[in-house]
Amino acid sequence: MDQAELQQKIATLEMKVSLLEERKKDSWDIFNIFASLLIPASIAFSGYYFSVAMKEAEIRSSEELASRQENIAIISAKVGQAKLIATFIEPLTGDNETKKRVAIRGILIALPEEGPQIVSVVSESDSSEEIQKFAKSELDMQREQLIKRAFSNQKPVRISATTELIRGWSRDPKLVPEIVEYAIQHLSQKSGVINMLVVLQNVDRNMLIVNKEDILSFVEKAIPNGSQTADHADKVKSRLY
């Protein structure tokens, strides 16, 4: 029984009570009419709200299950990453330079978030100067490729590269100046410019301050691209002060 039917029952009840009063029925008659109408109505009303409550419970249960599954997936991914890092750490800390080179290149590909930080440590602290140079060269090449891919004509490629820059390179001191330089040279590629502004909104703020004048120059050049670009440009500027 839905709410419309319940309202109809109540209207019928009011009418019958009115008739009883006109006929001067006793209180027992009135009670019988109330009982005959209200008991089924109350059962139906309770059933309606029970049904609503059950549906809400099912939704909450589904949301909780989805949340648990998501957390499990995140934990599984982190465990997998930890195992992968352990696989690369051994050759990185060993003496075989060939294995080190393979590990450096592999870790940048397989671990887009943690890889740049690990390779950065190798580029500064490895006992071999050749390995340090190799690590720096690989970092430079990966950074350059990601920036270029953020300007790709293919949207999934742009999104993937932008996300990787934010997650894995937000503390790289070379990132901001390279972003600004490349973006200024490709201002006509509006999606790529917006992506670079999004990256600048997420990098370490100290890196922005160091490159403040160049960033302001880029932002002013980018604003005429449109309202969406201008909105992101304002967000970048707000981080400079």
pLDDT tens track for 165-217: 999 999 999 999 999 999 999 999 999 999 999 999 999 999 999 999 999 99
The whole-number pLDDT of residue 55 equals 64
- pLDDT-based confidence at residue 235 (cuts at 50, 70, 90): very high
Tell me if the pTM is above 0.85.
no
Average pLDDT of span 78-103? 76
Structure tokens at 222: 């980018």
Closest CA to 194 of 139, 234, 144: 234
Check residue 154 and report its DSSP letter.
Answer: S
Cα dihedral angle (140, 142, 143, 145), rounded to 10 degrees? 120
What is the per-residue burial (b if ≥16 Cβ within 10 Å, else e) of 215-240?
beebbeebbebeeebeebbeebbeee
pLDDT tens digits, one per residue of 142-156: 999 999 999 999 999
Is the pLDDT reported for residue 135 higher than 80?
yes
The whole-number pLDDT of residue 23 equals 47
User: What whole-number distance in Å separates Cα of residue 46 and Cα of residue 100?
Assistant: 70
The whole-number pLDDT of residue 199 equals 97
Delimit the domains of the chain by residue range.
150-241
Per the CB < 8 A criterion, the answer to whether 100 and 94 are in contact is yes
- pLDDT-based confidence at residue 25 (cuts at 50, 70, 90): very low
Percent share of the chain, pLDDT over 70 = 64
pLDDT tens digits, one per residue of 107-120: 888 888 888 998 99
Is the pLDDT reported for residue 41 higher than 90?
no
Is the pLDDT reported for residue 218 higher than 70?
yes
